[in-house]
Amino acid sequence: MLKQSFLLISILFLSLSHAYAQDEVVMEINGDKVTKSEFLQIYLKNNDDPKFDKVSLDEYMELFKKFKLKVAEAEALGYDTVPKLKRELEGYRKQLALPYLIDSTENRFMVTQSYERLKTEVRASHILMRLKPNASAEDTSKAYFRLMELRERIVNGEDFALIARSKNSSEDPSVVSNGGDLGFFTAFQMLYPFEEVAYTTEVGETSLPFRTKYGYHILKVTDKRPARGTIKCAHLMVSSPAESSPEETASAEKKIAEIYDLISDSITDETWKNYVAKYSDDPSSNRKSGELPIFGSGTSQRMVPVFEDAAFSIKEDGAISKPIKTDYGYHIIRRIEWNDLKPFDKMEKELQKRVNKDERSKKTQDVFVAKLKKRYGFLEGDARYKSWFVENLDSTFFIGNWTADKLKVDQVMFSIGERKYRQMEFAKFLRKSFRTGRGKDFQTIVDMQYKKWVKQGVLAYEESMLDSKYPEYKALVQEYHDGIILYEIMSDKVWNKAVKDTTGLKAYYDIQKTKYMWPERIEATVYICGTAEVSETVFKMLKKKKNNSRVILEKINRDSELNLDVKMNKYVQSSNGFLKGKSFVEGRNEGYEFEDKYYVIDVDKMLPEMPKELSEIKGAVISDYQNHLESYWMKELVEKYPITIYDDVLYNLGADE
């Protein structure tokens, strides 16, 4: 994750074009020139509200100098020749090439089709016969005909769920609980081949067997409905994870029921906010009135089905649901805002990205390959050159030991443009695919792999010309190149070094430890009481030493889980609102009110100001140590690589704007 983020950040500092040879030079580093136009384009890319005063330009130039120095050092040390990094760049290059290797017309159709499908949700049940990608013809045929038998029984009126659960039927593990029912789904939520069959099968009909990467399926469409749109809601959660004991689950269920009774009497924005802050166990939302990200049709955010169904069943903004149970606990949901599916023009870019990432892109690419063949004069060699492989493959192929030693003449199997692809190249391609051929006859293996090889070759030919055809692609590849080597050298010189150099880290901490201080703290048990009466009772119970926190909690919450909550920790008073400004002594302290709650603080120790242990603050120390290492390294680079800044050009950047 860090690497991806760093690459994106570093790209912001990279050149978008090298076509400014006639420009004035704004900077030279180690003999390499940066032109005015090049620097200006980078500067504008990184500033939404660009300023051209001396202070702003000087500030940005300092950042740019550091970036250029690091790239210069990485290149000087040969990071761009490291095999691992070259392979990584090649992977990025292929990813960046994908948008240029698809048929735009077919791709446009896929985008509009996906939007139309988002308007409708499909409910379907399925039966799965698992197959490995390299399944034998016998296993494939067996799965297909078994599904055909099951389908015939379903078509003749037998219950789908009973058949799905029966012996030698569905191999989807969830079938035990759902009988094959997948609930409602929409575009992009299933594999594309599955989605395609679901949307083209009528309600009540059962499909013919079809293949996905998991195996063969049949599906029965049981319902279709208009998409429910998107919803923004909030929730109040009482935690009760799946691994909770029966006693804990019962306690959580009782607590949510009590909260619901309180809320449902009079629900307003203010009362909802207060109850969420007081009772919700979701730390990510309880300080935001329980608000959650928008979810529903066309969004990437998904909730568990029971949560979604409950949320969409709320009829009005501001209304709440009855308590529901998920694997996380019990929830009360409040609807904030509902909206229908967004217009196409608002979703087009997002849909385009999704289409490019899923199996739809393969279909558009097949159309593109056919067009490239015509464009560049694709020619196929004599059929005998392919037949040679069918005749000469043997059992050694399946264990990866087959060679083409018997091949006497290396004939051209196909050509595209000026590029010729020969038999020895196909032999290498075949050898790499031996694992996918098990169980298949040699004719099938050769035909299947030859088709893949041709497609790969045609796309590779087009990819080889992208630099000359699309300057923006060439620039983007260069950006990733520099980003990769920059990340790697920063890892070696700064980030990983700070983590691995435990001796240096400890020495740095010992020198700087007064920077990492705990203020005065209290080590205490905090009793959070629902009423003043409860706080008084707790205070009295604390007088007896045998009444520890567990005993007190059990007695006080005998009638209601809302009476008392207990937390134990070391607290910085100034950082905790309910402790700030209070005076405490060791032992029990009388209760007080804060934000509609009542607190009784039982202080075990009063802790003086002291340095934090390295183990307590290691993340912050590593970060500071990294900054220290980078600062020292930058001084070395400044001395190593001469830099010249042409101020007259730099300060004149805004003249053409």
3-state secondary structure 543-586: CCCCCCHHHHHHHHCCCCCCCEEEEEEEEEHHHCCCCCCCCCCC
Q: Backbone phi, then psi, for 339, in 5-degree steps?
A: -140, 150
What per-residue confidence (pLDDT) applies to 300?
A: 64
Q: How far apart, in Å, are the Cα atoms of 544 and each of 371, 551, 553?
A: 87, 11, 14
Mean pLDDT of 260-280: 88
Report the C-alpha dihedral over residues 527, 532, 536, 542, rounded to 10 degrees.
0
For residue 16, pLDDT beyond 50? no
| Long-range contacts formed by 284-291: CB under 8 A, 24+ apart | 285/234, 285/235, 286/236, 288/234, 289/234, 290/234, 290/235, 290/236, 290/237, 290/334, 291/232, 291/233, 291/234, 291/336
Return the amino acid letter for 623.
S
Which of 186, 189, 229, 194 lies closest to 212 in space, CA to CA?
A: 194
Q: Report the distance separating Cα 43 and Cα 649, nearest Å.
A: 14
Does 91 score more than 70 pLDDT?
A: yes
Are the C-beta atoms of 543 and 641 separated by less than 8 Å?
Answer: no
Average pLDDT of the residues in 508-513: 93
The two tokens of residue 163 are: 């058949």
Domains and CATH numbers, the chain: 1-76+470-515+624-657 (no CATH), 120-226 (3.10.50.40), 230-340 (3.10.50.40), 376-464 (no CATH), 517-611 (3.10.50)
Pick the more confident residue, 84 or 103: 84
Binned at pLDDT 50, 70 and 90, residue 399 comes out as: confident
What is the reported pLDDT for 9? Answer: 40
Report how far apart, in Å, the C-alpha atoms of 319 and of each of 275, 322, 332 are.
15, 10, 10
Structure tokens at 409: 């003449």
Residue pLDDT, tens place only, 605-632: 999 999 999 998 999 999 999 999 999 9
- Average model confidence (pLDDT) for the chain? 88
Q: Which residues of 280-319 are buried (b: 16+ CB within 10 A; e: fewer)?
A: bebeebbeebbbbebbbbbbeeebeeebbebbbebeeeee
Q: Which long-range contacts (CB under 8 A, 24 or more apart) does 633-641 make?
A: 633/493, 633/494, 634/66, 634/69, 637/69, 637/70, 637/72, 637/73, 638/69, 640/73, 641/29, 641/30, 641/69, 641/72, 641/73
In angstroms, the CA 422 to CA 411 distance is 5
Residue with structure tokens 């608000």? Answer: 291
pTM (2 decimals)? 0.55
Mean predicted confidence (pLDDT) in 80-103? 86
Residue with tokens 């509609």: 596
Q: Report pLDDT for 425.
A: 95
Q: Which two tokens stand for residue 7?
A: 């690459």
17, pLDDT greater than 60: no
State the average pLDDT over residues 192-198: 94
- Residue 569, φ and ψ in degrees, nearest 5: -170, 180
| pLDDT band at 157; cut points 50, 70, 90 | very high
Q: pLDDT exceeding 70 applies to what percent of the chain?
A: 95
| Res. 264 pLDDT band, cuts 50 70 90 | confident
Task: Check if the beta carbon of residue 321 is closer than 8 Å to that of residue 333.
Answer: yes
Query: pLDDT by residue (tens digit) across 303-329?
Result: 888 999 999 999 999 999 999 999 899
Query: Do residues 365 and 101 touch, judged by C-beta distance below 8 A?
Result: yes
Tokens of 223: 């319902």
Lowest mean pLDDT among 51-65, 194-208, 285-299, 455-469: 285-299
CA atoms of 159 and 155, how far apart (whole Å): 9
CB contact at 8 A, 134 and 198: no
Sign of CA dihedral 437, 443, 448, 449: positive
SS3 228: coil
Rounded CA gap, 203 and 222, in Å? Answer: 5
Say what the pLDDT of residue 7 is.
46
For residue 239, what are the contacts with CB-CB under 8 A and spacing of at least 6? 252, 281, 282, 328, 329
Q: What is the Cα–Cα distance from 483 to 10, expressed in whole angstroms?
A: 6
pLDDT at 324 (0 to 100): 96
**Amino acid 37: pLDDT:** 77
- The side-by-side arrangement of strands in the sheet containing 419-422 is 379-380, 412-416, 419-422
CA pair distance 378, 458, nearest whole angstrom:
8
